[in-house]
């Protein structure tokens, strides 16, 4: 299948779009427009050759903190930050890495399982690569009724932290081959 990817400044193009996840559809139709204005993020709309919206995603500049040595050879964004360790109460220094952040990603309920989402992740990786950004992060939606975590894991994202039950998301990271 061939698709067209367009950058949009408003959510108007998504009026009839349905991904089939109730909470996400509600957000797209009732709150996305305000979110885009408040946060100055980039909305991308994916259309098929008949001009029907088949997917959408929102990107922003993000970051993640790392205090391990696993990313030691990567260029950190700015100076190390001092962070208070929640367990021990001691101060530790950690690096902050710049990322492309996936704020939202949804595929039409009619086209789930057709690898459109995987193609979108590859497009985002190519965008990150063109900006010399080594990482993509996402707070993957995860509730008792729906979880995006398995999708992101299939796309080679790794879980950065255990899910905090006060949030409906799991922080995940993708390393871009530069």
Does residue 73 form part of some domain? no
State how far Cα 13 lies from the chain centre.
Answer: 20
State percent of the chain over pLDDT 90: 58
Does residue 136 form part of some domain? yes
Q: Give the number of domains in the chain.
A: 1
Does residue 56 form part of some domain? yes
Does residue 58 form part of some domain? yes
- pLDDT > 80? residue 165: no
CATH code, domain carrying 122: 3.40.630.30
By residue range, what is the domain housing residue 20? Answer: 3-63+99-175
* pLDDT, tens only, 42-58: 999 999 999 999 999 99
- pLDDT > 50? residue 78: no
**What's the CA gap between 42 and 111, in Å, rounded?**
23
pLDDT computed for residue 178 by the predictor: 79
Is 112 strand, coil or helix? coil
Q: Can you read off the two tokens belonging to residue 139?
A: 């707070």
pLDDT computed for residue 75 by the predictor: 46
Does residue 103 form part of some domain? yes
* pLDDT, tens only, 121-130: 999 999 999 9
């Amino acid at each position: 299948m061939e698709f067209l990817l367009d950058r949009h400044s408003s959510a108007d193009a998504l009026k009839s779009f349905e991904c089939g996840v109730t909470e996400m559809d509600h957000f797209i139709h009732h709150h996305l427009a305000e979110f885009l204005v408040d946060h100055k993020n980039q909305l991308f709309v994916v259309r098929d050759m008949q001009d029907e919206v088949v997917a959408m995603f929102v990107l922003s500049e993000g970051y993640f903190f790392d205090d391990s040595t696993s990313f030691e050879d990567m260029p950190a964004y700015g100076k190390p930050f001092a962070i208070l360790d929640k367990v021990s109460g001691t101060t530790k220094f950690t690096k902050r890495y710049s990322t492309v952040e996936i704020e939202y990603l949804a595929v039409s309920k009619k086209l789930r399982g057709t690898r459109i989402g995987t193609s979108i992740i590859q497009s985002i990786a190519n965008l990150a690569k063109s900006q010399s950004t080594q990482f993509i992060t996402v707070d993957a939606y995860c509730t008792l009724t729906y979880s995006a975590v398995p999708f992101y894991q299939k796309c080679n994202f790794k879980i950065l932290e255990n899910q905090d039950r006060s949030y409906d998301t799991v922080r995940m990271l993708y390393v871009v081959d530069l």
